[in-house]
C-alpha cells in the first residue's frame, strides 16, 4: 500500500484550484441511469470513488468515456443489468445510489446492502422506506436489496425520520419519473443535494425546493440528454484552508464556492484566520499567528459539516487554548484521535466529545489512515509537525482528494508518495 511522507513545519503559501465535489459527482453519475440519451458531465474529480461508480455503471451497460480534462460522457440508452454486486458496493457505500434511478426508470434493482464502514453502521432504512412509499416492493435477503415495482412508481409525501444526504438523493432520483407529485419533508439541505437537483432539472426534471428541508418533485415521462458541470468540492476547500491555518500560512483557492461552507469559514475566523472571498475564490491568511482553539458540534447542513470534523481536530492540537469538538452525525468518527495522540496531541474523549488542549508543536511520527477524512486530518498534522510523518494506507485519501501531493507541493509542502 502506498505511503505519504511529509516533512512538516513549513507554512503553506500560494494558489491552487479546487476540484469538482466528490459527493455531487457520485449521485450525478448514478443519475445517468435515468437518461436514455448521451450526457456530458464536466468538472468531475479524478478520484478512486469516481472510478468505482464508473465501473459499476459500466457493468450495467452504461457506456462511458473520460477525457483527460475530467469530462465524462455517459450513455445509458442500453442498460442491460440492474445488479450492483457486493464486491463493488462494499468498496464504496455510495453505490447504493443506483437504487433510486434503477427503480425509477426500470422498476427493478438488485443492489447489495452497503454495510457499515469505519465511521459507523450507516444503515439505509430511510432509503428503503422512501422506495416502499413510492410503491416499490422491497425484500432484503442474503445481503441484497431486491426491489421491484410492478407498475410506474407513484408520487407521495415522504417524511424522513432522520436527515440523510444519500437517502434524500435516492428518493429524489426515484421520484423524477414517477406518476404525480412527491414531497420529501425533513430532506437533507447539503449543496450536493441541490447540485443533483440542478443536474436533473437541466435534463427535463421538475424539482423545486432542493437545498431546503422540503423538496417537491413533479414526475415527468422521460429525461433528455444534456450537459452539466459539477459544483466545487466544499470539503476539499475546507481541508486546504485548514492546512494553511495549521501551518500559519497564506493561500488562495480558485474555483471555490464560499457560500457552500459558511460554517467552516466562520470557525476558521474564530481560530484567528483572516479570510477574504470572491464569487469563485477564497483566501486565508494567518499572518504568521498561532491559531486559537475552536469549539464546535457537527450537524447536517448548514451547520458545521461532519466531513470537516477531523481536520478541525488537527487544528486544535496545536492551537492556543482548549477546544471541544462534538460529533453528532456518526457514532465512531474519532479514529484519527489515536494517531494524533501518537504525534504528541493532548486530547481526551468522552463519548462523542473530544476535549483538546493545544500544544506548541506536534512531533512527526509513523501513522496509519483509517478512513477518508481521518487521513486528511493526519496530513494536516504532518504538515504542521516538527520532523517527518509517514501516513500508511493512503488509498483512503485517494478516494476523496484529487492529486493531493501535487496540490500541497504547489503550496510549498515537502510531501511525496512512496509506492509500496
Nearer Cβ to ligand EPZ, position 49 or 285?
A: 49
Which 12-31 positions form the footprint of ligand EPZ (CB under 6 A)? Answer: 22-23, 26
117 is catalytic: yes
Is 126 a binding residue for ligand EPZ by CB under 6 A? The answer is yes
Catalytic residue, chosen from 5, 10, 51, 117, is: 117
- If one asks whether residue 189 binds ligand EPZ (CB under 6 A), the answer comes out as no
- Grid cell 477531523 in the structure block, residue: 310
Q: Any bridge partners for residue 14, and if so which?
A: 251
Contact range with ligand EPZ by CB under 6 A, out of 158-166, 204-212, 221-229, 313-321: 158-166
Nearer to ligand EPZ, 56 or 319 (CB): 56
The span from the CA of 247 to the CA of 264, in Å, is 17
In a 10 Å sphere around its CB, with 0-12 CB exposed, 13-18 middle and 19+ buried, how is residue 340 labelled? buried
Q: Using DSSP, how many helices (H) and how many strands (E) does the chain show? A: 14, 24
349 contacts 313 by C-beta, under 8 angstroms: no
CB 268, min distance to ligand EPZ, A:
19
* x/- track of binding to ligand EPZ for residues 294-313 (CB under 6 A): ------------xx------
Within 13 Å, how many C-alpha atoms sit on residue 310's CB side? 28
Collapsed DSSP state (helix, strand, coil) of residue 276: strand
C-alpha span between 386 and 388 (Å, rounded)? 7
Q: Which helix (H) or strand (E) holds 101?
A: helix 99-106
User: In the complex with ligand EPZ, which residue's Cβ is closer, 94 or 284?
Assistant: 94
Q: Which stretch binds ligand EPZ (CB under 6 A): 162-170, 208-216, 276-284, 339-347?
A: 162-170
Question: Does the footprint of ligand EPZ cover residue 111 (CB under 6 A)?
Answer: no
CB nearer to ligand EPZ: pick between 44 and 365: 44
Q: Does 400 bind ligand EPZ (CB under 6 A)?
A: yes
Sole binder of ligand EPZ in the list 19, 95, 164, 311 (CB under 6 A): 164
As a whole number of angstroms, the distance between CA 39 and CA 226 comes to: 5
35-43, 73-81, 117-125, 315-323 -> range binding ligand EPZ (CB under 6 A): 117-125
The half-sphere exposure of 120 on its side-chain side, counting CA atoms within 13 A, is 13
β-strand partners of 301: none
Largest CA distance in the chain: 64
Residue 122 touching ligand EPZ (CB under 6 A)? yes
47 vs 76, beta carbon nearer ligand EPZ: 47
Among 205, 329, 335, 365, binds ligand EPZ (CB under 6 A): 329
SS3 helix, strand, coil % of the chain, rounded to 5? Answer: 35, 30, 40
The answer to the question of residue 242 lying near ligand EPZ (CB under 6 A) is: no
Identify each DSSP E strand in 11-107 by its residue range: 13-17, 38-42, 63-66, 72-75, 83-84
**Closest to ligand EPZ by CB, 75 or 307:** 307
Residues found near ligand EPZ in the complex (CB under 6 A): 22-23, 26, 94, 120, 122-127, 162, 164-167, 188, 192, 306-307, 329-330, 372-373, 400
Active centre residues (catalytic): 117
Amino acid at each position: 500500500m502506498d505511503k505519504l511522507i511529509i516533512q512538516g513545519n513549513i507554512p503553506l503559501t500560494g494558489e491552487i484550484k479546487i476540484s469538482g465535489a466528490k459527493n455531487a459527482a457520485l449521485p450525478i453519475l448514478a443519475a445517468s441511469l435515468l437518461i436514455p440519451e448521451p450526457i456530458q458531465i464536466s468538472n468531475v474529480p479524478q478520484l478512486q470513488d469516481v472510478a468505482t461508480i464508473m465501473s459499476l455503471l459500466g457493468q450495467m451497460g452504461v457506456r462511458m468515456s473520460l477525457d483527460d480534462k475530467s469530462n465524462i460522457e455517459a450513455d445509458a440508452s442500453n442498460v442491460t443489468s440492474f445488479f450492483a454486486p457486493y464486491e463493488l458496493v462494499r468498496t464504496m457505500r455510495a453505490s447504493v445510489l443506483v437504487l433510486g434511478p434503477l427503480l425509477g426508470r426500470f422498476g427493478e434493482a438488485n443492489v447489495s446492502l452497503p454495510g457499515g464502514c469505519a465511521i459507523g453502521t450507516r444503515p439505509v432504512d430511510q432509503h428503503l422506506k422512501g422506495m416502499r412509499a413510492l410503491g416499490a416492493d422491497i425484500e432484503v435477503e442474503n445481503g441484497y436489496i431486491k426491489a421491484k415495482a410492478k407498475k410506474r412508481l407513484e408520487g407521495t409525501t415522504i417524511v424522513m425520520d432522520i436527515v440523510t444526504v444519500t437517502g434524500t438523493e435516492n428518493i429524489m432520483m426515484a421520484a423524477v419519473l414517477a406518476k404525480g407529485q412527491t414531497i420529501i419533508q425533513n430532506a437533507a439541505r447539503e449543496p450536493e443535494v441541490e447540485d443533483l437537483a440542478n443536474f436533473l432539472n437541466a435534463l427535463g426534471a421538475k424539482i423545486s425546493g432542493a437545498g431546503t428541508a422540503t423538496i417537491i418533485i413533479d414526475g415527468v415521462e422521460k429525461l433528455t440528454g444534456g450537459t452539466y458541470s459539477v459544483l466545487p468540492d466544499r470539503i476539499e476547500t475546507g481541508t486546504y484552508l485548514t492546512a494553511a491555518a495549521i501551518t500559519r500560512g497564506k493561500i488562495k483557492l480558485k474555483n471555490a464556492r464560499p457560500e457552500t461552507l459558511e460554517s467552516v469559514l466562520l470557525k476558521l475566523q474564530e481560530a484567528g484566520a483572516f479570510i477574504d472571498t470572491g464569487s469563485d475564490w477564497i483566501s486565508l491568511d494567518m499572518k504568521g499567528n498561532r491559531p486559537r482553539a475552536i469549539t464546535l458540534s457537527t450537524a447536517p447542513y448548514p451547520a458545521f459539516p461532519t466531513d470537516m470534523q477531523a481536520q478541525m481536530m488537527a487544528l486544535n492540537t496545536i492551537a492556543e487554548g482548549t477546544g471541544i469538538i462534538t460529533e453528532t452525525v456518526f457514532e465512531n468518527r474519532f479514529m484519527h484521535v489515536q494517531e494524533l495522540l501518537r504525534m504528541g496531541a493532548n486530547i481526551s474523549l468522552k463519548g462523542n466529545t473530544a476535549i483538546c488542549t493545544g500544544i506548541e508543536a506536534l512531533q512527526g511520527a509513523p501513522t496509519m489512515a483509517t478512513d477518508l477524512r481521518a487521513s486528511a486530518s493526519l496530513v494536516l498534522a504532518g504538515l504542521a509537525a516538527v520532523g517527518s510523518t509517514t501516513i500508511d494506507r493512503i488509498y483512503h485519501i485517494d478516494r476523496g482528494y484529487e492529486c493531493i501531493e501535487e496540490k500541497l507541493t504547489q503550496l510549498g509542502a515537502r510531501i511525496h508518495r512512496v509506492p509500496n
